Amino acid sequence: MKRPLGITVHRQIMDSQSLHNEATGELSGLLTELIVAAKTISAEVNMAGLADALGVSGKTNIQGEEVQKLDEFSNNTIKRRMAQSGYICVMTSEEEDGIIPVQEGCEGKYTLAFDPLDGSSNIDVNVSIGTIFSIHRRISSSGQGDIDDLLQPGNELVAAGYMIYGSSTMLVYSTGEGVHGFTLDPSVGEFFLSHESIRVPEESKYFSVNEGNYNYWKPEMRSYVDYLKTIDEASGRPYSARYIGSLVADFHRNLIVGGIFLYPCDSKNPEKPYGKLRLLYEASPMAFLAEQAGGLALTDDGTRILDIKPTTLHERVPLVIGSRKEVERAEQFLNG
Ligand code: AHG
Ligand code: MN
Ligand code: MN
């Protein structure tokens, strides 16, 4: 359904709900609560330099990573709001070891997995960062949810999306009916439709990967990136390299102008043989959006990200995502 630009995200959510007779409004309520959390985080991010919110909190998370103050603020903002929302039965966050229960008596029919602040290494240098979320239906029948409610494959996702706190704050999400982008007008505190039915361009001349890891990659991965950098003007090579270091920002560029983003396996850290990105709240939600927008998301051995059944909350997967034809070409190099 073509929507006029400038409608609010709430209008989009309610219109989408009205298309489903069985809808009870809980998913709409869940998204609305997440949007309030997003506005709170956006305000904090935009003031971070002044409000002494920059820097590290002195703690480390389950990933063994130094928790930045904004990571903690974002995590607490989402956790507290969603625990009492009444729409979810259990949560998991990149910043927490185990499952996060909801407030007694507030158990709902969905689950939430989220990366409260993605791109932490960019917080203190004023580069775009974001929040990533994914929503499943619960499997257990009632009461507090459990880890099995969370360990579901991306092909069972009900909704997924991200907020990007960049030159403007945007919300990009899908409930399975295409991908839509909303831009926050901070003067009125509303998200307005700015990118309706986003489609990933089938081809593009951008590649996005941390080449600092080049010598840790398997030979096929090195061959693929060498191919993209070879001079062959008839086929539009070399491609342009773009790497921001925030998955949300690198993925957003791919979504809008096309390209390929890769975070492959590398031999750099024996404890992380499958690369750095987490399945539940980074690779899976982005894969859902990529496919909803006509793109493709695989691991570097050709497995469709959305078909992977998670076995632990924070498991990592290699990610090759973006313009369909480019991901298919990469696949030929990696597993031809
Ligand atoms: P997070 O800040 O949530 O830990 O995520 C950071 C991730 C992701 O945003 C980005 O694509 C990747 O780390 C960058 O990793 P490198 O610095 O190793 O390239
Ligand atoms: Mn992240
Ligand atoms: Mn994070």
* For ligand 1, atom 15: residue with the closest CA: 245
Q: Whose CA is nearest to atom 1 of ligand 1?
A: 118
**CB of 326 closer than 6 angstroms to any ligand 1 atom:** no
pLDDT of 200 higher than 90: yes
pLDDT for 58 = 83
Kindly tell me if the per-residue pLDDT of 169 is higher than 80: yes
Has residue 45 got a pLDDT over 70? yes
pLDDT, greater one: 204 or 317: 317
Neighbours of 15 (CB within 10 A): 12
Q: Is 183 in the pocket of ligand 1 (CB under 6 A)?
A: no
Query: Each residue of 270-319: pLDDT tens digit?
Result: 989 999 999 999 999 999 999 999 999 999 999 999 999 999 999 999 99
Tokens at residue 198, please?
């986003």
Q: What's the half-sphere exposure (Cβ side, CA atoms, 13 Å) at 204?
A: 25
Distance, in Å, from the CA atom of 286 to the CA atom of 328, rounded to the nearest integer, reads 17
Q: How far is the CA of 250 from the centre of ligand 1 (A)?
A: 10
Report the CATH fold assignment for 206-334: D-Maltodextrin-Binding Protein; domain 2 (3.40.190)
125 or 55, which is more confident? 125
CATH class of 9-195: alpha beta
Nearest Cα neighbor of 145 from 98, 78, 75, 76 is: 98
pTM of the predicted protein model: 0.95
Q: Quick check: CB of 71 below 6 Å from ligand 1?
A: no
Among 302, 293, 75, which residue's Cα sits nearest to residue 198? 293
Alpha carbon distance 59, 296 (integer Å):
36
Top-ranked range on mean pLDDT: pick from 1-5, 12-16, 101-105, 268-272: 101-105
With pLDDT > 90 as the criterion, what percentage of the chain qualifies? 84
> Is the model's pLDDT at 53 over the cut of 70?
yes
Q: What pLDDT sits at residue 22? A: 76
Nearest atom (ligand 1) to Cα of 263:
11
Burial (0-12, 13-18, 19+ Cβ within 10 Å), 203? middle
Whether the pLDDT of residue 52 is over 90: the answer is: no
Closest CA to 163 of 155, 153, 171, 152: 171
224 C-alpha to ligand 2 centroid (Å) = 25
For residue 1, the model assigns a pLDDT of: 63
Tokens at residue 153, please? 């494959």
At residue 334 the predicted structure's pLDDT band, cuts being 50, 70 and 90, is: very high
Tell me what pLDDT residue 55 has. 79
**Whose Cα sits closest to atom 8 in ligand 1?**
247
Q: What is the mean pLDDT of the chain?
A: 94
**How many C-beta atoms surround the C-beta of residue 123 within 10 A?**
22
DSSP letter (8 states) at residue 113: E
pLDDT of residue 60: 83
Q: What are the pLDDT digits (tens) for 72-98?
A: 999 999 999 999 999 999 999 999 999
64 C-alpha to ligand 1 centroid (Å): 13
Question: Phi/psi at 131 (nearest 5 deg)?
Answer: -130, 135
Tokens of 193: 């439709």
The pLDDT assigned to 149 comes to: 98
Q: Where are the domains of the chain?
A: 9-195, 206-334
